[in-house]
């Protein structure tokens, strides 16, 4: 009866207004909501302390990948957002707290990090409890994909054993069988030294001494004096970041490079760039190198990072962040889901495409321990090559599958729960 009292013209106006109102509450509202629901990738990495430069470079690699991913439609048709937290370089408690914040408060869909091996182990435990797909970018200690492996955790960077296996025979054959270790006193350094010790035992060499050095040490003189007194053939430096810069700079000031061969496993362009030219010495392992003229897509990656990195070439750390981020996007788009278990299952034996791998050999995540099988670059530091930033001469390429322990020997017992 009330409706009959409204004249026909007014009824048409009210109906039109109602239709517009419904349109405003459906179509535009849903589109707006979708636009707001970005896929979130959390990066928990050191932005302060001795590993700050390494963490910041991993972040740049992540950002570059996200720019490319969003240009190609994002993940599952949604744009991708990077949420970054400073884990610090040495406070594992802070790193764990930041990981929980990213997962519980920021609601990230994926977790990346950490540079520090102890933090990588601790945050992997958090991500496993929260059932979040996690890619460890730069924490090398074996246990991450070994004794403490998790179904949801994958790793881009090498294990410490891969690095020592790649270079140990060269050091033994070319420079001698008596080694002295200067080792950072935490998980990364411990497992590097253990890897080298296993090689020494295999080859019949001798460990003539070793020192454990606190993370963040600035004065290495007492350790260098002890190393000199032990009269080794090779002094093995296992530091990273600013610690490695301090150690090598002081070793050259002491003239140790004139009496002994200086060497180690993992070396980084950030370190060589931070050293005076005369301290760019020794035999090392690089995990990725920017000068690979015969490998497709490397030149484009170098150019892209230069634009975001003050004109500087990319380092392995940029590559770590880039590969970790692209792994999340590739596998989610392939499987058309964000379900962590489905993503993890699909990532086992997943081969990176050439434009992401940027390496000469097949690069894939091994099933069984979730460790990336890359190429390792064994060579020597140099003051300057054909270009100002060419500070490493690659002498040998080692396939990850040849350097890695078999899965059965890693200690990984993968439990899907």
Answer yes or no: do 270 and 313 share one domain: no
Q: Which domain holds residue 8?
A: 3-36
| Six-digit token string for 235 | 């002094």
Q: Tell me whether residue 410 is in a domain.
A: no
400 in the Ramachandran plot: left (φ > 0), alpha (ψ -120 to 50) or beta?
Answer: alpha
DSSP state of 324: H
Q: Are residues 132 and 274 in the same domain?
A: no
Question: Which of 286, 306, 329 is a domain's end point?
Answer: 286
Both 165 and 155 in one domain: the answer is no
Q: Check whether residue 190 and residue 275 sit in a common domain.
A: yes
The tens-digit pLDDT sequence of the chain (417 residues) is: 333 344 444 444 444 444 434 333 333 332 333 445 999 999 999 999 999 999 999 999 999 999 999 999 999 999 999 999 999 999 999 999 999 999 999 999 999 999 999 999 999 999 999 999 999 999 999 999 999 999 999 999 999 999 999 999 999 999 999 999 999 999 999 999 999 999 999 999 999 999 999 999 999 999 999 999 999 999 999 999 999 999 999 999 999 999 999 999 999 999 999 999 999 999 999 999 999 999 999 999 999 999 999 999 999 999 999 999 999 999 999 999 999 999 999 999 999 999 999 999 999 999 999 999 999 999 999 998 889 999 999 999 999 999 999 999 999 999 997
CATH number of the domain within which 325 lies: 3.40.50.2300
How many domains in the chain? 3
Same domain, residue pair 59 and 165: no
Same domain, 205 and 192: yes
| 417, part of any domain | no
CA-based nearest residue to 403, from 139, 161, 138: 161
- Out of 228, 259, 286, a domain closes at 286
In terms of domains, do 110 and 166 share one?
A: no
Strand order in the sheet with 153-155: 80-86, 39-45, 110-112, 133-136, 153-155
Is residue 43 included in any domain, yes or no? yes
Task: Assess whether 266 and 325 both reside in one domain.
Answer: no
149 and 111 in a common domain: yes
* Spatial separation of the C-alpha atoms in residues 326 and 8, rounded to whole Å: 60
Are residue 210 and residue 243 in the same domain, yes or no?
yes
Contacts (Cβ under 8 Å, ≥6 apart) of 413: 149
Residues 66 and 83 in one domain: yes
Asked whether residue 351 is assigned to any structural domain, the reply reads yes
Structural domain includes residue 381: no
One domain for residues 88 and 98: yes
Last residue of a domain, one of 245, 265, 286: 286
Let me know if residue 397 belongs to a domain: no
């Amino acid at each position: 009866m009330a409706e009959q009292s409204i004249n026909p013209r007014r009824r048409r106006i009210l109906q039109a207004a109602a239709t517009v109102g419904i349109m405003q509450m459906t179509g535009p509202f849903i589109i707006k909501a979708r636009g707001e629901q970005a896929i979130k990738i959390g990066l928990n990495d050191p932005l302060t302390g001795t590993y700050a430069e390494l963490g910041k470079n991993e972040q740049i690699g992540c950002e570059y990948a996200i720019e490319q991913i969003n240009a190609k439609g994002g993940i599952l048709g949604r744009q991708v957002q990077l949420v970054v937290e400073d884990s610090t370089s040495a406070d594992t408690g802070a790193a764990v707290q930041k990981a929980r914040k990213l997962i519980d408060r920021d609601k990230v869909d994926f977790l990346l990090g950490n540079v520090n091996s102890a933090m990588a182990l601790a945050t992997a435990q958090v991500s496993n409890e929260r059932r979040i797909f996690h890619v460890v970018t730069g924490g090398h200690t074996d246990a991450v994909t070994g004794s403490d492996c998790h179904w949801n955790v994958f790793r881009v960077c090498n294990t410490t054993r891969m690095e020592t296996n790649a270079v140990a025979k060269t050091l033994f054959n070319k420079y001698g069988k008596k080694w002295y270790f200067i080792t950072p006193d935490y998980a990364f350094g411990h497992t590097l030294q253990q890897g080298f010790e296993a090689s020494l035992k295999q080859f019949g060499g001798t460990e003539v001494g070793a020192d454990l050095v606190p993370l963040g040490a600035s004065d290495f003189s007492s350790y260098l004096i002890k190393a000199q007194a032990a009269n080794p053939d090779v002094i093995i430096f296992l530091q990273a970041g600013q610690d490695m810069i301090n150690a090598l700079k002081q070793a050259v000031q002491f003239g140790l490079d004139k009496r002994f061969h200086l060497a180690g496993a993992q070396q980084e362009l950030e370190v060589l760039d931070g050293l005076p030219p005369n301290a760019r010495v020794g035999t090392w392992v690089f995990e990725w190198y920017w000068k690979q003229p015969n490998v497709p897509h490397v030149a484009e990656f170098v150019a892209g990072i230069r634009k975001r990195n003050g004109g500087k070439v990319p380092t392995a750390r940029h590559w770590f962040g880039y590969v970790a981020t692209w792994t999340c996007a590739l596998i989610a788009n392939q499987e058309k889901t964000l379900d962590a278990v489905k993503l993890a299952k699909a990532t086992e034996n997943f081969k990176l495409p050439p434009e992401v791998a940027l390496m000469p050999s097949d690069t894939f995540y091994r099933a069984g321990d979730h460790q990336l099988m890359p190429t390792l670059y064994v060579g020597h530091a140099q003051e300057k090559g054909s270009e100002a930033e060419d500070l490493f001469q690659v002498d040998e390429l080692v396939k990850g599958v040849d350097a890695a322990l078999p899965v059965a020997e890693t200690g990984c017992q993968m439990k899907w729960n």
